[in-house]
Structure 1
Amino acid sequence: MLSVLTTGWGLVVVCAAGALAGISGAWWSAGFACRYALRLAVELQAGDGAHPGCGLSPLAPWLRCGASMVMGGLAWILAHRYGLGFGFWSTLIALNMLLILAVVDAQLALLPDALTAPLLWLGLAAAWMGGPVSLHQSLAGAVAGYGFLWVLFWLFALFRGRAGMGYGDFKLLAALGAWVGIFSLPYVLLAACLAGIGAAFLRQKNFRLGSSYPFGPFLAAGGATALALGPGVQSYF
């Protein structure tokens, strides 16, 4: 029975079911992210007023559909690699959490601990339970992800006299390190930086340092790409 499900039309059915799960999950996650961002903005506004809650709105339908289609494609790849077992569902949960974090950060420039911490612990748990990344690689990736951006943060602050990123970025990269392992982590960061620079250039039409943008969506995109490519992403370069 298992051989039937991993060859021919059986594999197509498994991949199609995975893609449908990915599309459905992304559609829900995008809506949840907007509701969560609005609630968080209201709470922050009631506290110190540092994050205005006005102006937040649900994602445009074309963005929500686009995110769902991309997630469906990633889920198809995951189902082809893992079937519909533990590797598929754990990674799909991680991808949906990354989508939520990307939307929240894009709207509020904030990566809340309530989202980054569970993503980190789930990554470590997945490695402990026999996921595609070993536990020692997962732990090393988490430490390296947080430590690298922490050092970069203080170097930037030393030379520029101001913060270049938030602590949420450290925690998100640590969580991604737990999922992809230490060897794939540099490529996640490289992809995020290149995407961020490209997006800034398209918006500003130059490379001046006068503007700032949330880094979380680019980290999430780099992490999602690495999760889709699977362990050993460095072999693609």
Structure 2
Amino acid sequence: MEGPMRVVSSGAVGQPKTDDLARCPACGQLLDYRSTDPLTGLLDRRSWDERATEALQRGGVNSLLIADVDRFKRINDTLGHQAGDTVLQVIAAVIAGAVRESDIVGRYGGHGGDEFLVFLPGAERSRGMAVAQRIQAQVRAETIVVRSVHGPLVPVSQIAVSIGVVTWCCTQEEDDLRSLVRRADAALLASKRACRDGIGSAADAVISSGKAASIDSTRGEKRLCR
């Protein structure tokens, strides 16, 4: 069943008001402030990297999701880029609302990117897959009313996202986060090759501390497709 229509105004979703944040009394710089993506209000890639690295260095089991909006280019090409921006704002809000406050959500790829990163500290594979399924279901339930480049308001519904999931018991090495992102990306690409609106899980990429990563993440994937 589709959810209620959502009309989104321009501007970032959840963008913090810097006037309300504490500043250094000497130089005026914001204290403990993470830069955000201006369109979605999520962490930008640099800030996401910083927070995810901090969480990864604490050790333990962690999961990472990369979500990609299927056929997003079609929205831009038929309804215009501002309509696409509106869709990205809603999807960002849905993803942020589908996870815990302690989870780390960011936009991947910078300006024009339609991918999102979700780092789940302390999450085993079962929770990573459950979060991926929840994100997919909530995005699919949205009906987003956008302003077409031609003028009229147009409802956009049944939006699909493909998601790559990887779970890793990190080794605290310098390139751990890069390896985690690379494996989640490989799981995402494998899922998109198999079907749209699917979930690819790098099930064999759970690496114990001290062991080298030698798994080909494009093979042995577990995929859930609609």
Q: TM-score, normalised by structure 1?
A: 0.28
Higher strand share: 2
Higher helix share: 1
The higher relative CO (CA closer than 8 Å, separation ≥ 6) is in 2
